[in-house]
Amino acid sequence: MRGKLFVVATPIGNLQDITLRALETLKSVSAIASEDTRISLKLLNHFGIRKRLISNFKENESKRVAEITEILEKGEDVALISDAGTPLISDPGRILVHSLRKNGYEVIPIPGASSLTAALSVCGFEDHPFIFYGFVPKKEGEKKEIIEELKTVKYTAVFFESPHRIRKTLRMFYDNFPERDLFVAREMTKKFESYLSNPELQSVPEKGEFVIILSPSKKEATEIVEKSVEEKYRQLVEKGMSHNQAVKELSKQLKISKRLLYNTLLAKGV
């Protein structure tokens, strides 16, 4: 019988947030694939867990698929963890999980801490629907694309950001969306955790890990754009286009990304 891959969520700061099931799983598997073995060792040593560690970061993930598959073929289980929180949420693991599922292996989640959901739970904004972008892009062109997307939808938007870019990123959102609220979660569950609503830039320390949440747009123009997208989409489908063809054509016509169109149509129930 083949082994299973367990995708295990770990604490985002406070080690007491680990679940009993996560500990049980980490103790039972034959090996643990981790983003940074040095960071993972601190967690594992704290709980007295001694297991074979497999380094699985972005640059070597493709190479690790065969090694982990070999372990599973022996009938042994493997756990996948990230440096903090739920794996694959802006962390390595997608290539491994995709490959294993494609080849019929069992991949089982062990739920737990997530900075994404933790921040959403205390921001007070409408959280349905919401878009999670991961880390704010470094390239200016990609930033502009996201800004244009956010001007045409009413969704709550969630981002991760690093300390050395946090103030610049907040300024970008303030300049482009003066009518929308910003929520900043910093160092969640850690000693110096803080939660700020529409903070002044100088009040935000350039230290720690951040989650930024931008409230939904309340502009009436948003509804008009969404209605126009829906009408144009239905017209293309009536002409015989498939869903994907219609979205591709709309993307060209409206100069809007396909991702945004998919999300807009999904929210409209189309």
Residues 98-114 have pLDDT tens digits of: 999 999 999 999 999 99
Domain ranges of the chain: 5-113, 116-214, 220-267
**CATH class label, 5-113:** alpha beta
Q: Does residue 184 carry a pLDDT above 60? A: yes
Average pLDDT value for the chain: 91
Res 59: pLDDT: 86
Res 6: pLDDT: 99
Residue, of 200 and 262, whose pLDDT is higher = 200
Res 270: pLDDT: 66
Res 224: pLDDT: 45
Q: How far apart, in whole angstroms, are the C-alpha atoms of residue 253 and residue 247?
A: 10
Looking at domain 116-214, does it have CATH number 3.30.950.10? yes
The reply to whether 5-113 and 116-214 are identical in fold is: no
Residues 215-254 have pLDDT tens digits of: 988 765 455 456 677 888 888 888 899 988 988 888 777 6
Question: What is the average per-residue pLDDT within 119-137?
Answer: 91
Question: What percentage of the chain reaches a pLDDT higher than 90?
Answer: 71
Question: What is the average per-residue pLDDT within 92-102?
Answer: 95
